Amino acid sequence: MNENWTLFKRNLAEFWKTFRKNRLGLLGAFLVITSILVATFAPWLSPYSPSDIIRDEGGHGLTFASPAVHAPLGTDDAGHDVWSQLVHGARISLMVGFMAGFIAMFVGSLFGILAGYFGGAVDNLLMRITDILLVIPDLPLMLILVATIRQLDLKISPLTVLIAVIGLLYWTSTARLIRSQVLTIKERQFVARARAIGAGHGHIIRKHILPQIMPLIVANTVLILSTAILVESGLAFLGLGDPTKPSWGTMLNFAFDRSAVTNGAWWFYLPPGLAIVWVTLGCVLLGNVLEEMLNPRLTAHHLEGDQNMVTVPGKGVE
Amino acid sequence: MNRRDYLLRKFGLSIVTIFVVVIINFLLFRVLPGDPVRAVVGRNVRISAETQRALREQFGLDKPVFPDQFFDTLGQWAQGNLGVSWSLRRPVSEVLMSKLWNTVLLIGLGQLLSIIFGVILGLLAGWKRKTAIDVGALTFSLIAWAIPTFWLGIILLAAGSTWFGLPTGGIVSPINVGKPLYTIIPDVARHLILPTFTLTILYLGEYMLIMRSSILEVLSEDYILTAKAKGMSHWQVLWKHALKNAMLPIVTLIALNLGFTVSGAIYIETVFSYDGLGKLFQTALTKQDYPLLQGAFLLLAVSVIIANMAADVLYAVLDPRVKES
C-alpha cells in the first residue's frame, strides 16, 4: 500500500512537470477551477438572492436596468439582479453537466470494458447500440424524451430528468474509445501471464486493465463534461430547464423570450453565454491536453520545413 | 471488406435503426397519461361518452396494443398519415411538408458554405502546420465548438439588426408577401444572411479540423515523399496527390454531421423565427402538441438515417479500399 502510494505520488509529480509547461492546459485548468469555485461560493459572491426584486427609491421594481444604474450586471425584465442569477446559475449548470457527464462516463466505461474484454455477443450488442444511437439525431430524440417523461407525473424534478436523459444518451463515444483501448491491453503479455497463473476476470480487470485505462477515462470525462454542459444549456434554452432553479441556459431562455434583444439589454443575454463558453472551453482545453499527453501521436509530416529535398550545407537534414 | 457485404450491412443497420425510431415513437405516444382518444381529437374538445366509444372503435383503440395497434399505426405511418396536429388542427404530414423546403434551403446553404471554407482552411492549416494560419484555424474551431449555437445566433441577431439593418426574423417581410419573384428573392436572401452565417460558423470548425488531421495523415505517407522527390512543387503535390485522398473523411463527416445539423436547425430557426421544421419542432414542444412532435421526430430521424445510408454508399463508391474482392 505504502509502496503504491509513493509510486502514485511520483507519477503525479512527473505528470505535473509536463503539464505545467503546457500553457493551453493551464488555461483550461484555470477556467474550470474558477467556475467550480464560483459555483461553490455562490451565496458569498452574490449580494442578493436570485429571486430578490431590486427597487428604486420610489419602491418601483427596476426592470432592464443597465449596469450603469445597477452594478455590476444590471437587472432583468422582472428586476432581478443578473449577477446573482449568473453566480447561482453556475451551481445548476455545473451540477447538471457534471452529474450527466459522470453517468455517461460510468456507463460508457462499463460497457467499453465489458465489450473490449469479453468480446463476442456483448461486444456485438454494444457496437450495434452505439451504431444506432450515432445515427438518430440526438437533440430531437432528447426533446421528445424529456417532453414525454415530464408529462408522466413521476414526481421527479426537471433537472433530474435532464441529467438522466443526457447521461444515458452520451456514453457511446466513451464506450467505443475505452473498448478499443481494452482490446489492445488485453493482448499484452502481463495480462496473458496473469491469466496463466490463474487470475480471474474480475481480478484482471481491476488490477491490470483499469489502472491502464484510468488516465484515458479521466481525459475523456473532462471532454464529456463540456458536451453535457453545452447540451444542458441548449435544452434549457428550449424551455426544458427548471424555471425555479435557473441554469445559464434557462437565463438565456428568459432573456430571449422576454425580448432582452429588442430592449438592448446586452447585460442580460451576454453574461450567461460567456459563462457557458468559459466552462466548456476550459473543459475542452484541459481534456485535449490530457488526451495528448496520454496518447502521443505523430508529430511531423513530409511537407514541413524546406521546399527542397536537397539539404543546404549548414541547415541540417530534415 | 467486400463492397456488397459492406453495403448490405449498412443497409441492414439503417433498417434496424428506422425500426428502433418507429418503436420509440410508438411507445412514447402510448405511455402518455390520459385516454388515447384525446390524442386524436385534442385535449380540450368536449365529447360525449358515446362518441368517445365510437371513436375508440373507429381508431382501433379497443384492440390490444400489440400486435394490432402497433401494426395498424405502422401501416398508417407508412402511408404518410401521421395524425392531426392539436394546435394547428391540420394533418401533421401536410404541416411538415409545408415547412420542409425552408429547412432544406437553410441547412443546404449552411452546409455548402461550411464545407467549401472548411476544406480550404483545413488544407492550409495542415499544410502550414504550426504557423499563424494553423494556430488561428485551431483557435477558431475550438471557440466555435465551445459556443452554444443559440447564443451565437442571439449575438449575431442583435449585431446584425442593430448595425447592419438586417431583418430580425422570418423568411420574407410581410409587405412583400404575394409580390412578384424579383422582389421576393432579394428579400428572402436578406432574411437568410444571419441564420446561414450562424450555421456556417457552427459547422465550419469541425470540417476544418477533420480536413486538417486528414491532410496531416496523408502528408506523412510515403507517396507524398516520393512525389516531392520527383521535384513537384508543394501545390502540385497537394492538388494531385493529397487533396483527393484527404477529402474522403469529409464525406463520412457530412453523414455523421446530419444529426448535428438538425440540432443546429432547431436552435437557429427558433432564434431567427425562421419558418422551418426546427421552429415547428420547438413550437410543438412548447404547445405540447404531441402528434406534431412525433411526426416531426419521425420525419427528421428517418431522413437523417436515409441520408446517412446514402453517404455510406457514396463512401463505398469513392474509397477503392472498399471494393469487390
Query: What is the domain range of residue A76?
Result: 33-298
Contact flag A137-B263 (C-beta cutoff 8 Å):
yes
Contact flag A256-B271 (C-beta cutoff 8 Å):
yes
Structure confidence at residue B227 (pLDDT):
85
Cβ within 8 Å of A, B 202-221: 216-217, 219-221
Q: What span, in angstroms and rounded, lies between the C-alpha atoms of A66 and A49? A: 19
Most distant pair of Cα atoms in chain A: their distance:
83
- DSSP, collapsed to helix, strand or coil, labels residue B105 as helix
Question: Across the interface, which of B130, B262, B308 has its CB nearest the CB of A140?
Answer: B262
Contact flag B237-A134 (C-beta cutoff 8 Å):
no
Identify residue A59 by its one-letter amino acid code. Answer: G
| Cα atoms in the 13 Å half-sphere on the side-chain side of B176 | 16
Residue B155 distance to chain A (closest CA, Å) = 8
Given a contact cutoff of 8 angstroms between Cβ atoms, the answer to whether A246 and A254 are in contact is yes
Contact flag A300-B24 (C-beta cutoff 8 Å):
no
Domain annotation covers residue A139: yes
Label residue A109 exposed, middle or buried (CB < 10 Å: 0-12, 13-18, 19+): buried
Domain count for chain A: 1
Cβ within 8 Å of B, A 234-263: 234, 237-240, 249, 252, 255-256, 261-262
Given a contact cutoff of 8 angstroms between Cβ atoms, the answer to whether B266 and A139 are in contact is yes
Residue A140 distance to chain B (closest CA, Å) = 6
Domain annotation covers residue A183: yes
Cell numbers linked to B37: 382518444
Of the pLDDT bands very low, low, confident and very high (cuts 50, 70, 90), residue B54 is confident
Residue A179 distance to chain B (closest CA, Å) = 20
Q: What span, in angstroms and rounded, lies between the C-alpha atoms of A121 and A119? A: 7
Q: What is the pLDDT of residues B255-277, one digit of tens each?
A: 777 777 888 899 999 999 998 99
Contact flag A281-B146 (C-beta cutoff 8 Å):
yes
B282 close to A (CB below 8 A): yes
Of the pLDDT bands very low, low, confident and very high (cuts 50, 70, 90), residue A307 is low
Given a contact cutoff of 8 angstroms between Cβ atoms, the answer to whether B266 and B195 are in contact is no
Q: What is the pTM of this model?
A: 0.86
Contact flag B304-A284 (C-beta cutoff 8 Å):
no
Bigger pLDDT: B69 vs A253: A253
Please report the number of interchain residue pairs, chain A to chain B, with beta-carbon separation below 8 angstroms. Answer: 171
Q: What span, in angstroms and rounded, lies between the C-alpha atoms of B76 and B96? A: 16
Contact flag B259-A304 (C-beta cutoff 8 Å):
no
Distances in Å between the alpha carbon of B109 and those of A115, A238, B31, B267, B290? 41, 24, 39, 16, 30
Cell numbers linked to B147: 459556443
Structure confidence at residue A304 (pLDDT):
65
Mean pLDDT is lowest, of A176-190, A275-289, B29-43, B145-159, for: B29-43
| Cα atoms in the 13 Å half-sphere on the side-chain side of A290 | 21
Cell numbers linked to B294: 412525433
Domain annotation covers residue A11: no
- DSSP, collapsed to helix, strand or coil, labels residue B91 as strand
Given a contact cutoff of 8 angstroms between Cβ atoms, the answer to whether B305 and A136 are in contact is yes
Cell numbers linked to B33: 397519461
Question: Across the interface, which of A140, A145, A309 has its CB nearest the CB of B229?
Answer: A309
Given a contact cutoff of 8 angstroms between Cβ atoms, the answer to whether B86 and B287 are in contact is yes
Is the predicted pLDDT of residue B322 greater than 70, yes or no? no
Question: Across the interface, which of B142, B271, B304 has its CB nearest the CB of A135?
Answer: B304
What's the DSSP call for residue B84? Answer: B
Cβ within 8 Å of B, A 150-189: 151-153
Q: Taking the CB of residue B325, how many other CB atoms lie within 10 A of it?
A: 8
Domain annotation covers residue A308: no
Domain annotation covers residue A215: yes
Most confident of A4-13, A212-221, B66-75: A212-221
Backbone angles phi, psi at A194, to 5 degrees: -60, -40
Q: What is the pLDDT of residues B191-240, one digit of tens each?
A: 888 999 999 998 888 889 888 888 888 888 888 888 888 888 888 888 88
Q: What span, in angstroms and rounded, lies between the C-alpha atoms of A240 and A53? A: 24
Residue A150 distance to chain B (closest CA, Å) = 10
Most confident of A299-303, B119-123, B321-325: B119-123
Handedness of CA A214, A219, A223, A228 (dihedral sign): positive
Cell numbers linked to B298: 419521425
Structure confidence at residue A253 (pLDDT):
93
Of the residues B31, B129, B134, B151, the best mutation for testing chain A's interface (the one with the most A CB atoms within 10 Å of its CB) is: B151
CATH number for A239 = 1.10.3720.10
Domain annotation covers residue A2: no
Given a contact cutoff of 8 angstroms between Cβ atoms, the answer to whether B252 and B311 are in contact is yes
Cβ neighbours of B125 in A, within 8 Å? none
Is the predicted pLDDT of residue A161 greater than 70, yes or no? yes
Cβ neighbours of A284 in B, within 8 Å? 142, 145-146
Residue of B276, B167, B153 lying closest to A255 (CA atoms): B153
Of the pLDDT bands very low, low, confident and very high (cuts 50, 70, 90), residue B323 is low
Question: Which residue is listed with cell 430524440?
Answer: A141
Q: What is the mean pLDDT of residues B139-164?
A: 89
Handedness of CA A139, A145, A148, A152 (dihedral sign): negative
Contact flag B21-A238 (C-beta cutoff 8 Å):
no
Contact flag A303-B16 (C-beta cutoff 8 Å):
no
B286 close to A (CB below 8 A): yes
Of the pLDDT bands very low, low, confident and very high (cuts 50, 70, 90), residue B170 is confident
Question: Which residue is listed with cell 445539423?
Answer: B261
Q: What is the mean pLDDT of residues B14-28?
A: 89
Q: What span, in angstroms and rounded, lies between the C-alpha atoms of B24 and B28? A: 6
Of the pLDDT bands very low, low, confident and very high (cuts 50, 70, 90), residue A317 is very low
Cβ within 8 Å of B, A 268-307: 269-270, 272-273, 276-277, 280-281, 284-285, 298, 300-304, 307
Is the predicted pLDDT of residue A300 greater than 70, yes or no? no
Of the pLDDT bands very low, low, confident and very high (cuts 50, 70, 90), residue A14 is confident
Chain centroid, CA B282 distance in Å: 15
Q: What percent of chain B has pLDDT over 90?
A: 17
Structure confidence at residue B4 (pLDDT):
81
Cβ-proximal residues to B55 (8 Å cutoff; 6+ apart), any chain: B37, B40, B41, B47, B61
Q: What span, in angstroms and rounded, lies between the C-alpha atoms of B142 and B11? A: 35
Q: What is the ipTM of this complex?
A: 0.85
Domain annotation covers residue A14: no
- DSSP, collapsed to helix, strand or coil, labels residue B237 as helix
Question: Across the interface, which of B143, B157, B285 has its CB nearest the CB of A147?
Answer: B285
Cβ neighbours of B263 in A, within 8 Å? 137-140, 234
Contact flag B157-A261 (C-beta cutoff 8 Å):
yes
Given a contact cutoff of 8 angstroms between Cβ atoms, the answer to whether B91 and B77 are in contact is no
Domain annotation covers residue A23: no
Handedness of CA A181, A182, A188, A190 (dihedral sign): positive
Residue A198 distance to chain B (closest CA, Å) = 38
Strand-pairing partners, residue A81, are A75
What secondary structure, in 3-state letters, does chain A show?
A: CHHHHHHHHHHHHHHHHHHCCCHHHHHHHHHHHHHHHHHHCHHHHCCCCCCCECECCCCCECCCCCCCCCCCCCECCCCEEHHHHHHHHHHHHHHHHHHHHHHHHHHHHHHHHHHHHHCHHHHHHHHHHHHHHHHCCHHHHHHHHHHHHHHCCCCCCHHHHHHHHHHHHCCHHHHHHHHHHHHHHCCCHHHHHHHHCCCCHHHHHHHHHHHHHHHHHHHHHHHHHHHHHHHHHHHHHHHHCCCCCCCHHHHHHHHHHCCCCCCCCHHHHHHHHHHHHHHHHHHHHHHHHHHHHHCCCCCCCCCCCCCCCCCCCCCCCC
Q: Residue A270: which H helix or E strand, with range? A: helix A266-294
Cβ neighbours of B129 in A, within 8 Å? 301, 304
Residue B27 distance to chain A (closest CA, Å) = 10
Of the pLDDT bands very low, low, confident and very high (cuts 50, 70, 90), residue A277 is very high
